[in-house]
Structure formats: C-alpha cells, structure tokens
Amino acid sequence: MDLFEFATRQPATNDRARYDELCRTINRNNELYYAQAQPEITDAEYDALYRELEALEAAHPDFITPASPTQRVGNDLTEGFRKVTHPRPMQSIDDIFEHKPGQGESDAELVEFYNRLSRSLGMAEPQVVVEPKIDGCAVTLMYRNGHLAYAATRGDGTTGDDITANILTIGSIPRVLPEGAPSLLEVRGEVYMPFADFNRLNEQRDAEGLPALANPRNATAGTIKLLDVNEVAARPLAFLAHGIGEYEGEPLHTAADFVNLLKRMGIPCNSPVIHAEGEAAVRQAVKDIDRLRHELGYGTDGAVIKLADFALRESLGSTARAPRWAAAFKYLPEQKETTLRAITIQVGRTGVLTPVAELEPVQLSGTTVSRATLHNQDEITRKDIRLGDTVLVEKSGEIIPAIVHVNKDKRPADATPYSLYEAVGGVCPCCGEPISQEAGQVAWRCTNFTCTAQAAMRTSHFCKRESLDVESLGGTVAEALVRNGYISTPLDLFSLSVEKLGGLNLGTEDEPRRFGEKNAAKALEALERARTLPLDRWLTAFGIPGIGVTTAREVASYHRDLLQLAHSEFLGTLIRLEDGVTLYNSLNPKARSNKGADAEELEARRTTLRAELESLAAPYEKRHFLSLQPDGNNKLKLSNPLGSVSTHHLRQWFDSAAGQQVMSTLGELGINPTSPTYSEEATPENGPLSGLTFVLTGALSRPRPEFERLIAEAGGKATGSVTKKTSYLVAGEGGGSKRDKAVKLNIPIIDEATLLALLKGE
C-alpha cells in the first residue's frame, strides 16, 4: 500500500466518521502489534493509516481527545507480570518518511525536521546524532548502585511489565556494573533477534514440528512476554541501548558522553552513531545509515535523528506522546512489479490454510523472489488480488516478501475475485475433511484430529503437560514419529511397543540417533497413566477449537464421562435454546424488518415460543448456571455457561467424521475418561457463594483449578472473562487487562484472603 494512498481516498464530507474509523482501526492494530505480537497489516500500511489520522487532526483540531492514537504510545501490558512505574515516561518517537519518486525530494521531511530544530533553538546548524532504528521491542534497564534492580517493557508509557528474569537470559546484559558506576542509571534500548539466529530458531522449530515464527520482531515480542524463563533462555535474544532515562552520577552533557558511559559499563549500545552538523551533513548521515544497516544482521527500518546536546533536548521538551528533539526517518522498502501466476494453499501444522502467491521471479533486495505470503482470505479480498494480476512486491521487514497492492490498469479482462474456500472445494487439501472459519477470526482451518498435515503438531499438543503429560513424545520425537511413518494420528501412540519406539531414529541416515529403550519405556508408562487422566485433560488434548484448559474444565463439570459428552443432551439443549432465542428475537413486532406484518400474530408466536424455551431451559437453570431472561428491549437473552462458540465447536467436533473416528478408536482402546468434578446433585442453593460469579486473575498461592473447585462447592461459579454479570474479580499479583476491565465496569476487586473469608461465609 502506498504510504500516501489514503490521503485522497475518503470524501471530505465524511471526515468525522472516517476519523472515528481510523481511531478504531489504529487502536486495534496497536493492540495486535504491541500486546499480542500478531500484526495483521504491514508497517507501511499502518504508517499510511496513522498519517491520514494526523492529517484529519490537523484539519479538525476539535476532533482530538486524549484517547487518540496520536496522543499516547502503544500499550503492551500483559497479565501475569508485576507492574513497574517508570520514573520518567517511556515515550514513542515521531516518524518522518522518505518520499517516493515523483513526490518531490525523497528526504524533504528530514530537511523540514532539521530546519524546525534550527528555528526552535535559534541555531543555524545544531549538532545531531544519527543511528539505525532497530526493529525490536522497547525495554528499560534500571541500575541502582551498580546492580540491575529491574528490567521492564514500555507498557503504556507510564507503567510497564517487570521482565527482569527474562532479560537476564541475555548474556550481553550485565547484572552488576564495574567500579565507578553511577548511583542510578536507567538505560533504554531495544531487545531484538538477529536474522541468523532467527532463521536457526525456525529451522529448529520446524524439526520439532512447531509452527514457524513469522518474523524477528514478532518473535522477540512474544518471547519477552513468556512466563517460563527456561523457554525464554532457549530463544536467541539480544539487546542494544540507545537512550537514557533517570540518572544520578557524573554529569552527562551530550550523546557522546552517554555512549562512552555505556562502553565503560559494558552495556551494548547502538552502532554506528554518526555526528552531523548542518543540513547537508545530516542528509548524508541518513544515507550512510541506509547503506550500513544492511550489514548489521538484524532488522532496521529507518534512521533515528536526535539532538546531541542534552540541555537542548530539555529545552525543547516533548508532546504527550513523543520528544520534540528526535524523529525516525522511515526508509521506503524496495518494491518491484511482477505477475501473480498462481495461488497455492499450504496446510500448516496447526491446521490453518495459508494462501501463497506464486510469482514470476523478480530480483528484490539482492535475492530472487518467486513466492509471497497472502496471509488469509481477508487480505486477498481487501487488496482485491486476482490470478494473473500485476502486483507490487516488497520485502517486509527485509525477510518476508509481501504483496503491497495490485496494478489494476494491467489486470486481465477475465480476472475474477479469488475465493480460498471455492479453490479447495471447501475441504482440506491434505485430508479431504471440511474446513471451517471460527467466529471473529479470518483464518480457514482444518480441525480434523486425524489430518496427516497436522500429525506432528497435534501429537506435540496431545502430549503437553496440560494435556496428557507425555512430554517426552513432543517436539522432535513427534516429528520423527510422523516422518518415519510410526504414527499418523496422536492416538497411534497407544499402539507403539518399547522395541519399535526405542529404535526410532531422531537424527538422519548419515547421523542416526536412537530414542532408546529406556526412554521408550518411560514414555509408554506415561501413556498408560494418561488412560486414567480426567475428562478435562483429554478435552484439552484433542485440540478442539475454542476449548482451552479453562473451558475444558467447565465442560467436564457438566458431564460424567466422554461418552456422555459425545451424546450430550445438555449441548443439544444449548444449541436448540440459542436457535430458539434467535428466532424469538427476530419475531419482534417492533423490529424494522417486521414492518407491515401482523403484530398480534407475531406476538402470539413469541408467547408460544417463549413458553417452550423456558420449559426447555428449566431443568438446567440451577445446576448449570443457565439463564433465559428478557433484556429490557423486548428481547430474550440466553446466558450459556459454556459460551456459544465453544458449544457449537464441541457439537461439530463430535458429529464430524474425525470426531467419530476418535471415539471409535478410544472405544477399541478401552479409554473413556471421567470427570471428578461432575455431580448428579444440584449446586448448593444456600451455599455462601450461591448466585455469585467470580473471575480469577494474576498470581495466586494455589492452582486456579483448586480455587474454582472451592467456589463451585460453595454454590458459586468461576468463569474466564469479566462481564457485567461478574460479582467479584479475585486478583493476585499482576492481572492487568482483567483488572482494567473490572474497574471500567465497576466490578469489586478482592484479594485471595477476602475470597477465603467469603468461602467461610464471613
């Protein structure tokens, strides 16, 4: 997408609506980028949206509120981490862009920024430093009396996540500074993943049957937020410092003083750093950084220009979002046109169907590009990509080729819109089972438990600790089992013998490495134990979409065993109730769609239908926390304890050919997991927590399942998300997003001690 494409795209008469739409879109993409590390659009597309928002705010200053994306930094706060308040805000940095040919001087915005510095300071040629803009994740390191006190993410700019344990896995970051260290030193910089290490990590993940990581920046963002420090230690992270926060020590007057301090302290710092005075020197420095950055071995997408003198920085200050004394010059990615010859569909190890563009080969950034990711059907539809199109391709993040947009002037006359679903005939190209698209998600997915394309990944998931706890058969072993033809589905594990599993070659023909009979015997013992694990663990192991650990426990609490769940009257009732409620609400005489219809007839049908629905729901209302109530708008609302999406996924899975095959195989193996939390008796109506709903968040002193059981035994209910119907949020240390939502909804927040008192009726 052209960085300036949006500027003339929307009619001026609809500025307010467009402004609101841009705010929503940018905030959503900030959430995906910063908090979830799963961006859906390229940096260039995001920049185009942001620039359009800035243009609208310049034209309509009255639109601006403190909630505007231009008035605050992205928020990467994550639940589960201790929070740290930054002594000085960790701000973002304003972007300036390289112009495309034909749009004036390519570095016109750079020149304007430097001239603005000159005017603001009343100086002809202020000195600046120019350095690479690292494509990583912002963190701060706080040293007190020479010791690392903590490391934290930027968070929302004011508060960050304490990620000290994860940062200490980076060997280049010193825990203790040498003699002569300042009494207080806050160093700000970027955590990143070098290209070579990222590629090796993906090769390793591929060998272990794990999905490839999309790019170094996303991999870094996901890694520093992992709660398992051992897993973080296995990832190749690196760090470079580029800025200073709070400081108490010998005076630092310039950027050069700060760099020298970092070098004396043994803290790795950004390089090269070029000093420049005057417009010509600054322009040349930015060009030099562009040339040099390709040799650095890690992701960069621009050059940062900063005033060299710290006192001058203080005099200019900052806006609510960014300093006035710095800017990031964003280079144009290299782009070339080529022809889209075909679209192939890959089935990933998680079952996601990914469309891949097969291109007429073209030279780009020193490599031959013949394929590019299309991400998903929504991406294809949004960009209107069709077979035979002439497309503009760029290397996004200098690694993954991406299609930017289509040259529709060169489109073949017979080109038609592309449908992934129609291209594969609605079935998985690997196993032939139907594909589905989850509500609210863009990916098409094969959910067949026996799909051979997913065998290694599903086996790894099947054997995870939270599933059946046979971890010795995950990763590399699962991949080898599939590669050597020992298994084609996870349930084939139960047919393995010690001799066969022990002889499994985990290496290559040239360098064989046997699994060994001792390891095989331990794995088969774990499989034998798995036969007796409870129903919720097996539900988790099946990998049914929408059924995670918490939902699996909830489902299991309403069913005696797997066989009862497979033919569950409760699931059937929930689906019938949901369909009935939808029909009831559609018969509303006041609805615009029913204008002109016989109101009395509609109301009579609603009365009859409501009586049927209430009769259907009555047996389940008390013990199953199911409720059917009017919502005040002449509509009915069903409170489904399992959630609508989970209910339908469960029913579809058990009704599918794959689900029936699993049930058949488990029957042959004599496995029918039971639920220890199921009770034929109704939930206590007079328990101390009767009628109350709780949500647990943060770090608690006992496992959450134990608290959930105690709440249920006292007549209450524990759910996974905060809603208006939540009675209390029980918050341990951490609990960011759920705590924020509870505050917004005025839900009482209590600690563990208060919950225990409530359980006792105090």
Report which residue type is found at 26.
I
Beta strands in 45-146 (DSSP E): 83-85, 95-97, 127-134, 137-144
Give the HSE-up count for residue 729: Cα atoms under 13 Å, Cβ half-sphere.
Answer: 27
- CB contact at 8 A, 191 and 167: yes
CATH topology of domain 95-330: D-amino Acid Aminotransferase; Chain A, domain 1 (3.30.470)
Provide the 10 A C-beta neighbour count for residue 425: 11
Length, in residues, of the chain: 762
List the chain residues with pLDDT less than 70: 1-13, 31-44, 66-67, 72-80, 203, 205-212, 214, 349-350, 365-367, 396-400, 438-441, 622-625, 631-632, 680-686, 703-706, 734-736
Residue 78 backbone phi and psi in degrees, to 5: -130, 140
Here the tokens at position 242 are 């580029």
Report which residue type is found at 245.
G
- Domain 335-423: give its CATH architecture: Beta Barrel (2.40)
Nearest alpha-carbon partner for 542 in 477, 483, 454: 454
Question: What is the maximal distance between C-alpha atoms in the chain?
Answer: 88
522 is a catalytic site residue:
no
What kind and span of H or E run contains 568? none
Q: What is the pTM of this model?
A: 0.51
CATH class of domain segment(s) 447-530 = mainly alpha
Residue 496 backbone phi and psi in degrees, to 5: -75, 150
Distance, in Å, from the CA atom of 337 to the CA atom of 403, rounded to the nearest integer, reads 9
Distance, in Å, from the CA atom of 689 to the CA atom of 760, rounded to the nearest integer, reads 9
CATH topology of domain 5-71: Helix Hairpins (1.10.287)
Nearest alpha-carbon partner for 638 in 650, 663, 620: 620
Beta strands in 177-307 (DSSP E): 184-192, 238-248, 274-277, 300-307
- CB contact at 8 A, 401 and 394: yes
Nearest alpha-carbon partner for 56 in 100, 12, 97: 12
pLDDT, tens only, 527-579? 999 999 999 999 999 988 778 887 888 899 889 999 999 999 999 999 999 89
Distance, in Å, from the CA atom of 420 to the CA atom of 436, rounded to the nearest integer, reads 12
Q: Please list the residues that pair with 356 across neighbouring strands.
A: 344, 373
- Domain 693-759: give its CATH architecture: 3-Layer(aba) Sandwich (3.40)
Where are the alpha helices (H) located in 543-568, listed in sequence order?
Answer: 549-556, 562-566
Distance, in Å, from the CA atom of 128 to the CA atom of 37, rounded to the nearest integer, reads 32
Place of tokens 């016109």: 108
Distance, in Å, from the CA atom of 595 to the CA atom of 597, rounded to the nearest integer, reads 6
The contacts of residue 435 (CB under 8 Å, 6+ apart) are 353, 421, 424, 426, 427, 428, 444, 445, 446, 447
What kind and span of H or E run contains 668? helix 657-669
Query: Could you give the angle at the alpha carbon of 676 between the alpha carbons of 527 and 570, nearest 5°?
Result: 105
Nearest alpha-carbon partner for 760 in 712, 686, 688: 688
> What's the pLDDT score for residue 3?
30
Residue 687 backbone phi and psi in degrees, to 5: -70, 165
For 159-196, the three-class secondary structure string (H helix, E strand, C coil) is EEEECHHHHCCCCCCCCECCCCCCCEEEEEEEEECCHH
Report which residue type is found at 420.
L
> What's the pLDDT score for residue 143?
97
| CA separation, residue 697 to residues 130, 209, 417, 677 (Å) | 44, 32, 45, 21
Domain ranges of the chain: 5-71, 95-330, 335-423, 447-530, 549-669, 693-759
The one catalytic residue among 83, 100, 133, 738: 133
Provide Rg for the chain, Cα atoms.
29
Where are the alpha helices (H) located in 330-401, listed in sequence order?
Answer: 377-383
> What's the pLDDT score for residue 226?
83
> Can you spell out the DSSP letters for 680-732?
SSPPPSSSTTTT-EEEEESB-SS-HHHHHHHHHHTT-EEESS--TT--EEEE-
Distance, in Å, from the CA atom of 334 to the CA atom of 332, rounded to the nearest integer, reads 6
Burial of 295 (0-12, 13-18, 19+ CB in 10 A): exposed
Nearest alpha-carbon partner for 374 in 406, 349, 351, 408: 406
For 492-535, the three-class secondary structure string (H helix, E strand, C coil) is HHHHCCHHHHHCCECCCCCCCCECCHHHHHHHHHHHHHHCCCCH
**Which SS3 state, helix, strand or coil, does residue 211 take?**
coil
**Which SS3 state, helix, strand or coil, does residue 75 take?**
coil
Here the tokens at position 129 are 């430093």
